[in-house]
Amino acid sequence: MKKEDQLEEKNPIEDLLRMDRIPHIWCPGCGIGTVVTSFIEALKKSKLDLDKVVVVSGIGCTGRVAGYVKLDSFHTTHGRAVPFATGLKLANPELNVVVFSGDGDIAGIGGNHFIHAARRNMDITIICVNNFNYAMTGGQVAATTPLGANASTAPYGNFEFPFSLPYLADAAGATYIARWTALHLRRVTKSIQEALSRRGFSFIEVITPCVTLYARRNRLGDGLNLLKYYYDNSEIHHGADTRTLDISYQGKLVVGKFVDKEKPTFLDAMNEHLGKVLGDKYVLYGRINDDRD
């Protein structure tokens, strides 16, 4: 191939990226970009009507995703991506709503919204990049920082017990739960595809420690070596009891699909209940042209 032709060659996911915003802000070696690649691959494979797919992010490095994908997308306030997504879904139930955000956004400042959306089995998909810290603001300790790990606000190591996000999601009522590392590209793609094609609250955690802050502070290496460490130290255990999924500092990481079950969604439950109570006076809401049934 001639050099000019090579330069002309398009990135295969370019049609779903806002190329006018590239170069992106992410550091070299950061795994957020690989999760975006998996997401776009999953969208392409899903054959969904992309005019009905919406991406919502909060704030932070991961929160930038909404600005880079060429879809209807919203960069909302920190911790409010889930309620924003809930509002979109309820206003227009035909939409396939995806929240793509960080661990701080979903489980820290937005933790309360997260558990209540899971409890209601709100029909949305959440992709959470867990980089073990509040990256964009300087690597502060987060609700996901492993015990003993160093962070900018935990210079002697973290002593706060972290959340295990799959366990939290399960306890709150999520009906699909998976965890992978950013190097499990095909597995992440498959999980996102599954989540997009099902109804109910789906939660996918992708572990990709922040290379510039968390990993540098803890002297864990960089680039591909860092990502490879977590990939090599993970064990796939589908259906694992979510009580056993704690992440210890530099310990083995259990990944896989842990939960995939059916339960009425918020709108199913609402229609069923109000239909029973109000009878003919009640007009069913939503579920119009839902090609996932």
Residues lying near ligand TPP in the complex (CB under 6 A): 59-62, 77-78, 102-105, 109, 129, 131, 133-137, 142
Give the tokens for residue 173: 């009522």
Q: Which is nearer to ligand TPP, 29 or 102 (CB)?
A: 102
Q: Which is nearer to ligand SF4, 27 or 185 (CB)?
A: 27
* 131 near Mg ion, rule: CB under 5 A: yes
Q: Which is nearer to Mg ion, 104 or 256 (CB)?
A: 104
Do 105 and 32 form a contact (C-beta atoms < 8 A)?
no
The helix (run of H) or strand (run of E) holding residue 68 is helix 65-68
Minimum CB–partner distance for residue 132 and Mg ion (Å): 7
For Mg ion, the binding residues in 66-105 under the rule CB under 5 A are 102-104
CA distance 116 to 162: 20
CA distance 272 to 277: 9
Q: Which is nearer to ligand SF4, 53 or 210 (CB)?
A: 210
CA distance 69 to 194: 20
**Amino acid at site 62:** T
Stretch that binds ligand SF4, among 152-160, 179-187, 204-212, 219-227 (CB under 6 A): 204-212
Do 20 and 61 form a contact (C-beta atoms < 8 A)?
no
Say which entry of ligand TPP, Mg ion, ligand SF4, none residue 211 contacts (CB below 5 to 8 A, set by partner kind).
ligand SF4
For Mg ion, the binding residues in 186-245 under the rule CB under 5 A are none
List phi, psi (to 5°) of 283.
-100, 125
Q: Which residues of the shown chain bind Mg ion in the complex (CB under 5 A)? A: 102-104, 131, 135
